[in-house]
Amino acid sequence: MEATAGGGCGSGPPLLLSEGEQQCYSELFARCAGAAGGGPGSGPPEAARAAPGAATAAAGPVADLFRASQLPAETLHQITELCGAKRVGYFGPTQFYVALKLIAAAQSGLPVRIESIKCELPLPRFMMLKTDAEIRFGNPAELHGTKVQIPYLITEKSTFKRMDDEEKQQETQSPAMSPLASPPSSPPHYQRVPLSHGYSKLRSSTEQMHPAPYEARQSLVQPEGPSSGGPGPKPPRHQASLIRSFSVERELQDHSNYPDEPWRITEEQREYYVNQFRSLQPDPSSFISGSVAKNFFTKSKLSIPELSYIWELSDADCDGALTLPEFCAAFHLIVARKNGYPLPEGLPPTLQPEYLQAAFPKPKWECTLFDSYSESMPANQQPRDLNRMELSVKDMADFPAPTQDVTGDDKQALTSATDEALPKDISEDSATPKDPNSLKARPRSRSYSSTSIEEAMKRGEDPPTPPPRPQKTHSRASSLDLNKVFQPSVPASKSGLLPPPPALPPRPCPSQSEPASEAELHSQLNRATSQAAESSPTKKDIPYSQPPSKPIRRKFRPENQATESQEPSNTVGGPASVATVKPHPAVQKQSSKQKKAIQTAIRKNKEANAVLARLNSELQQQLKEVHQERIALENQLEQLRPVTVL
Amino acid sequence: MAVCVAVIAKENYPLYIRSVPTESELKFHYMVHTSLDVVDEKISAMGKALVDQRELYLGLLYPTEDYKVYGYVTNSKVKFVMVVDSSNTALRDNEIRSMFRKLHNSYTDVMCNPFYNPGDRIQSRAFDSMVTSMMVQVC
């Protein structure tokens, strides 16, 4: 226990560290001291000075560490002054620990005073730099035992709010969020990355289009955050994420002095890219279309020719869409370019899609993270993503051809640009070296996207069709709409027929009673049947079991109505006729009950009839309109034809 | 093999033109420009039939004493024009067709790039390198 900070801080109060803090601080200290020993040239002067005895942390790594805490420069100066390092000229353990404590205090929003460190504080957070090679990208190391990312993040934002004269209420709200969100460690690390420097720059240029996609990303990264944090913390989080993705470069510039291995994607970066990918395209094994990617990458503020070149490099199979490895490569190149690295002449080997796919296998992410994504996705995201998915589904589903054609046609459909190439050209194109890649990619994407198609369809079909699906209203129309979407993905199903809803199958079975409206009817009939054991009641059963308007059952309608028409006449004829229909042992009240039941059935059928007739007329109307459109288009075509000779 | 390669847009302005760097580059540009009339003529001649049946490769547009000019049209009326040295008699029709096919594929790749707006000049390095490979033999 670091009892008294006697040596360094002259008038310092006793520095009480908790166990966790002590562990953390000693590790940090060892790191700085170790780094000092290994650091090229930053060590020697301080080391020489500190030669007498005590281990010290050299100023270089310590300064890096302090910068990594994301505090502004003047605060850091204050801290160094307070902790006494300036006085003694070096960072001994005591000074270092005091400094760390002060950093934690500053990050918590407390003023930088000696008194602040007396109270219990969360651990300070830094961008811990693992190795030289990865320092450039600012990859945070995992500080074992410290799970305080969110408090740091919150406090970080709170300090920024103050500095930017934001309202104070966010500070109060932000600590409330700390226990709530528990995302994986690296995304919040990346959230921290850019906050300091890029923040002010980007806040001034907050465009409207940013919040929406970033909100999606936010909801990704902090699944519980949005739900619990409320609207208040959202704006800072938006901006934080806004900054996160595009001022990575600023942060990296500060720390990047190491040119080796610029083209290698690290694990954290990879996760970050994958999260971004998932925000644009939920299925990790599917593609991002060109236009979507264009909008996304344009936000990086690089020039169009450079972006065009980056695209050229990263889209290995030149299909106008980015798979996950291609996307990661492109993102990586953009990040590198923003850092000032010249773009390579060719795609570096570490960014090749095959390498990326081999190095970072994706499948395990799909199931788990796709599920978490789908469950964490807020409702307002669903339609948008659904539209995107449906769009891609429709595009891809328009060509249910074998793989080779699918490669060409798929991409044609996906790219919104005017393609003039023939499908066979594209397939030829892909037939050359890119063939294994594309073939490998396409079947996988088809298989996964088909599952997502089905999920999307399942999600999509519920809202349009009313829950009492058997009760028609626009069953026909809705079935048509859905069929357009269903047909390609479920080609097996008969066209024009809805897949039987769950409620339907039990219905034909007379022994089971289905919807409540027909329950008594069925039971009546069943009883009658069981007692009657005659063909006519059973015949009645079958029509009765289908009355409401499954289009499938429509052909039974005439029968139904025929029998129905028979029934009223029979029933009108009097109980006698009913009695003749029913077996004699049937009690009178049974027959009257049956009459009632029949009458209700008649009523229902009439209603269904009316609805269907209305539907019919609507559809006729639609048909007419479509005909007219067709005629108009044909006319146009005729007119244009001679002109388009050229 | 090719002395000059040009990609002309539908509205007959150049998207990409590149010649072997000689002193008479302007002559090549002029030849390409005049060849556009021939291209239009050929397209209109075929235009009576359905568009689908139209051949993309137009063949020899016109020969001069030093050079031969070949043409190729895509379905979106983007024209490729290639000027070939006449002295290079070893060049067969099939080779010209294959060169145009390569051009067409590279052009497709350029179009696939979402950052490329149709109608812009083609600045793709991949396209450049492909054209260079077609022209590099000429000294």
Which B residues in the span 61-80 are in contact with A, Cβ-Cβ below 8 Å? Answer: 74-78
Q: Model confidence over A392-409: pLDDT tens digits?
A: 444 444 444 444 444 444
Residue tagged 């850092």 (tokens): A339
What is the model's pLDDT at position A85? 60
Chain A contact for B113, CB < 8 A? yes
Give strand ranges (E) for chain B. Answer: 2-8, 14-19, 57-63, 67-73, 79-85
The confidence band for A596, taking pLDDT boundaries of 50, 70 and 90, is very high
Q: How far is CA A56 from CA A91, A102, A256, in A?
A: 6, 18, 25
**CB pair distance less than 8 Å for B115 and A422:** no
Backbone angles phi, psi at A631, to 5 degrees: -60, -45
The confidence band for B7, taking pLDDT boundaries of 50, 70 and 90, is very high
What is the model's pLDDT at position A350? 77
**CB pair distance less than 8 Å for A429 and B105:** yes
Q: How far B95 CA sits from the closest chain A CA (Å)?
A: 17
Q: How far A348 CA sits from the closest chain B CA (Å)?
A: 15
Residue tagged 């409401």 (tokens): A548
Higher local confidence (pLDDT), A586 or A260 = A586
**CB pair distance less than 8 Å for B123 and A318:** no
What is the model's pLDDT at position A609? 94
What is the model's pLDDT at position B86? 78
Q: Which residue of A has its CA nearest to B41?
A: A646
For residue A317, the Cα-to-chain-centroid distance in whole angstroms is 25
What is the model's pLDDT at position A232? 43
Whether the pLDDT of residue A488 is over 90: the answer is no
Of the candidates A360, A309, A362, which has an alpha carbon nearest to the alpha carbon of residue A334? A309
Chain B contact for A280, CB < 8 A? no
**CB pair distance less than 8 Å for A312 and B113:** yes
Q: Average pLDDT over chain A, rounded to whole?
A: 58
Q: How confident is the model over A637-646, as a mean pLDDT?
A: 76
Report the 10 Å Cβ neighbour count for A335.
Answer: 22
Which of B115, B116, B128 to mutate against chain A (most A CBs within 10 Å)? B115
The confidence band for B47, taking pLDDT boundaries of 50, 70 and 90, is low
- For residue A319 the two structure tokens come to 């299909």
How far apart CA B52 and CA B73 sit, in angstroms, is 13
How far apart CA A15 and CA A82 sit, in angstroms, is 13
The confidence band for A631, taking pLDDT boundaries of 50, 70 and 90, is very high
Chain A contact for B108, CB < 8 A? yes
**CB pair distance less than 8 Å for A293 and B114:** yes
Work out the burial of residue A51: count CB atoms within 10 Å of its CB; fewer than 13 is exposed, 13-18 middle, 19 or more buried: exposed
Whether the pLDDT of residue B23 is over 60: the answer is yes
Q: Model confidence over A244-257: pLDDT tens digits?
A: 445 444 444 444 44
Backbone angles phi, psi at B72, to 5 degrees: -155, 135
What is the model's pLDDT at position A627? 95
Q: Model confidence over A167-222: pLDDT tens digits?
A: 444 444 444 444 444 444 444 444 444 444 444 443 444 444 444 444 444 444 44
Nearest-by-Cβ selection for B44 from A319, A428, A646: A646
Nearest-by-Cβ selection for B76 from A311, A418, A646: A418
Q: How far is CA A181 from CA A228, A368, A376, in A?
A: 9, 18, 12
Q: What DSSP character marks residue B15? A: E
Q: How far is CA A232 from CA A77, A166, A224, B124, in A?
A: 32, 12, 15, 46
**Which residue type is seen at A481?**
D
Of the candidates A410, A408, A416, A388, which has an alpha carbon nearest to the alpha carbon of residue A398? A410
**CB pair distance less than 8 Å for B124 and A415:** no
What is the model's pLDDT at position A261? 64
Higher local confidence (pLDDT), A102 or A521 = A102
Q: Which residue of B has its CA nearest to A306?
A: B115
Residue by residue, DSSP assigns A58-106 as -HHHHHHHHHHTT--HHHHHHHHHHHTHHHHSSB-HHHHHHHHHHHHHH
Q: Model confidence over A132-144: pLDDT tens digits?
A: 444 444 344 444 4
**CB pair distance less than 8 Å for B125 and A309:** yes
Indicate the domain borders of chain B. Answer: 2-134
**CB pair distance less than 8 Å for B74 and A420:** yes
Q: How far A98 CA sits from the closest chain B CA (Å)?
A: 52
Higher local confidence (pLDDT), A142 or B97 = B97
Task: Please state the ipTM of this predicted complex.
Answer: 0.82
Whether the pLDDT of residue A622 is over 90: the answer is yes
Chain A contact for B92, CB < 8 A? no
Q: Are residues A412 and B68 in contact, defined by beta-carbon separation less than 8 angstroms?
A: no
**CB pair distance less than 8 Å for B113 and A308:** yes
What is the model's pLDDT at position B109? 87
How far apart CA B78 and CA B104 sit, in angstroms, is 10
Secondary structure of residue A578 in the 3-state scheme? helix
> How large a percentage of chain A has pLDDT more than 90?
7
Highest mean predicted confidence (pLDDT) among A102-116, A361-375, A489-503, A599-613: A599-613
What is the model's pLDDT at position A50? 43
The contacts found for A403-406 with CB under 8 angstroms, 24 or more apart, are: A403/A439, A403/A442, A403/A443, A403/A446, A404/A431, A404/A439, A406/A442, A406/A446
Q: Are residues A325 and A265 in contact, defined by beta-carbon separation less than 8 angstroms?
A: no
Residues near A504 by beta carbon (within 8 Å), at least 6 away in sequence: A470, A550
Q: How confident is the model over B58-79, as a mean pLDDT?
A: 86
Which chain A positions have a beta carbon within 8 Å of B113's beta carbon? 290, 308, 311-312, 315, 320
What is the model's pLDDT at position A496? 44
Whether the pLDDT of residue A581 is over 90: the answer is no
Size of interface A-B (CB pairs under 8 A): 86
**CB pair distance less than 8 Å for A319 and B112:** yes
Chain B contact for A420, CB < 8 A? yes
Residue by residue, DSSP assigns A602-624 as HHHHHHHHHHHHHHHHHHHHHHH
Q: How far A451 CA sits from the closest chain B CA (Å)?
A: 27
Higher local confidence (pLDDT), B15 or A201 = B15
Which chain A positions have a beta carbon within 8 Å of B125's beta carbon? 309, 312, 345
Q: How far from each other are the two terminal CA atoms of chain A, in whole angstroms?
A: 88
The confidence band for A612, taking pLDDT boundaries of 50, 70 and 90, is very high
> How large a percentage of chain A has pLDDT more than 70?
32
What is the model's pLDDT at position A44? 44
The confidence band for A56, taking pLDDT boundaries of 50, 70 and 90, is low
Q: Model confidence over B48-59: pLDDT tens digits?
A: 655 554 577 888
Whether the pLDDT of residue B9 is over 80: the answer is yes
Q: Model confidence over A67-125: pLDDT tens digits?
A: 777 777 787 777 777 776 666 766 677 777 777 777 777 777 777 666 666 666 666 66
For domain B2-134, the CATH class is alpha beta
What is the model's pLDDT at position A633? 94
Q: How confident is the model over A620-630, as a mean pLDDT?
A: 95
Which pTM value belongs to this model? 0.37
**Which residue type is seen at A400?**
P
Whether the pLDDT of residue B60 is over 60: the answer is yes
Secondary structure of residue B68 in the 3-state scheme? strand
Higher local confidence (pLDDT), A229 or A588 = A588
